[in-house]
Amino acid sequence: MMCACIWCNVDDLVSSPLAMTKIATLARTAVTATIAKRTVGRVSLAPVSSYTASSSPPSDAEAAATIAREDRHAVAKSKLKAFRRIVNDRVSARRFLPDTPVPDAVWNDILRMTRTAPSGFNLQPTSVILLRSPAIKRTLAEHAMLGVGNKYRTIDSSGIAIFCADLRPGMRVHRIHELEREAGTREDGYMSVMRVASTFLTGEGGFGGGGGGGRLSAFAKRMFTDALSPVRPMPTMEDVGMWSYKNAGIISQLYTMAASAHGLSTCMMEGYDARRAMEILRVPHERYGLPIMVATGYEYGALPAVHADTLGGKDDEEEEEYDHERCGRTPRLGMNETFFGDTFGEPLDFLLNGITPLESETAT
């Protein structure tokens, strides 16, 4: 690929992703310096030094725009490549390497990324237990997990993220409202409706701030919204459990991808007796449900994971090799069985037309 910017005239440079990253850094530095000069003294605009030798130098603005465009392109491409690798590498681990702890710094980073998950009204209705205690894992395996595979995974994995879905998310509204107010990132309109709308949408609470008087049951709210729906758009009344489990699905998936990005293997698990598990893990059963657990660690028989801070000399080719060593992927329904265009059941035109996926272009 040829690059139009002035730093990229050498073919072999632009063909290397590492070089592109360096170029992008150089470009950023140059733009920053140029913009700094321009803003310090508006009267004498200093030219970008690299352009002075050219017979018809592009203006500062043109140069900056070219650099920015190239920079964005390089960043977008490397982001896409990294994300695709994480997606393609993730498969559910069948067995984990026993007695292999994950470094605390890695756990910490995974949880920090997990925390950025979106949630309805930003209520963040999922608490996560990171279970690493061998004794509790064994108890859980023996008394709550279903099936031999899940029992082994529970004992052998380095840790299990246990996602606890809050079935009374209305109890979070006050705290989240405070957080939002302090952060000051929301508009006034949002802040004024957030309390009522969130408790309404989550299928619990009531008008007038929730709690005691004036409370409408979820049933009454559903009747009310169903009756008005033909007249004007009304909120869809979900059961609070569905709402909260939906949110748990989203955060658990983000956790899984974050763990995968760290080279860890995962296996989502729903095969357990939630009542027993909650007892063992001391989860308040009157408030929470346990929709999903994610066993996390190092896959038995896979190449050893290399954490980013110990990457050292590992280069792209080695990683490529690791990719290909992965065991086969589980089957998926056809694209046209899962994805529709515009209305339910309607085929997507670009699937019918056999458009080549972008993957082959960005794989390198």
Ligand X SMILES: Cc1cc2nc3c(=O)[nH]c(=O)nc-3n(C[C@H](O)[C@H](O)[C@H](O)COP(=O)(O)O)c2cc1C
**In this chain, which of 150, 154, 199, 296 binds ligand X, going by CB under 6 A?**
150
State the Cα–Cα distance between residues 245 and 7, nearest whole angstrom. 51
3-class DSSP state of 174: helix
Which of 150/296 has CB closer to ligand X?
150
Which of 169/291 has CB closer to ligand X?
291
Which of 23/264 has CB closer to ligand X?
264
Nearest to 197 by CA among 170, 175, 220: 170
Which of 122/139 has CB closer to ligand X?
139
Q: Which amino acid is at 153?
A: R
Edge-to-edge strands, sheet with 288-297: 126-131, 159-166, 288-297, 265-269
Site for ligand X in 292-311 (CB under 6 A): 292
Cβ 156 to ligand X, closest distance in Å? Answer: 13
Cβ 124 to ligand X, closest distance in Å? Answer: 20
Cβ 281 to ligand X, closest distance in Å? Answer: 17
Which of 271/341 has CB closer to ligand X?
271
Site for ligand X in 251-290 (CB under 6 A): 267-271
Site for ligand X in 84-143 (CB under 6 A): 91-92
The burial of 345, by beta-carbon neighbours within 10 Å (0-12 exposed, 13-18 middle, 19 or more buried), is given as exposed
Neighbours of 48 (CB within 10 A): 19
Cβ 92 to ligand X, closest distance in Å? Answer: 3
Which of 264/267 has CB closer to ligand X?
267
Site for ligand X in 306-345 (CB under 6 A): 330
Cβ 261 to ligand X, closest distance in Å? Answer: 16
**In this chain, which of 149, 208, 209, 341 binds ligand X, going by CB under 6 A?**
149
Cβ 98 to ligand X, closest distance in Å? Answer: 17
Provide the H-helix boundaries in the chain. Answer: 11-14, 17-40, 60-89, 104-114, 134-143, 148-156, 173-183, 188-201, 218-228, 240-261, 274-281, 316-325, 335-338, 349-352, 359-362
Which of 139/253 has CB closer to ligand X?
253
How many chain residues bind ligand X (CB under 6 A)?
11
Q: Does 14 bind ligand X (CB under 6 A)?
A: no
Q: Is the dihedral of CA 130, 133, 138, 140 positive or negative?
A: negative
Which of 199/256 has CB closer to ligand X?
256
Cβ 256 to ligand X, closest distance in Å? Answer: 9
Site for ligand X in 32-91 (CB under 6 A): 91
Q: What is 296-328 written as a DSSP string?
A: EE-BTTSPPP--GGG-TT--HHHHHHHHHHSPP
- C-beta separation of 129 from 161 below 8 A: yes
The burial of 234, by beta-carbon neighbours within 10 Å (0-12 exposed, 13-18 middle, 19 or more buried), is given as middle
Provide the H-helix boundaries in 144-237. Answer: 148-156, 173-183, 188-201, 218-228
**Residue given tokens 């996926």 in the structure block:** 357
Which of 211/301 has CB closer to ligand X?
301
Comparing every residue's Cβ against ligand X, the nearest one is 271
Positions touching ligand X (CB under 6 A) are: 91-92, 149-150, 267-271, 292, 330
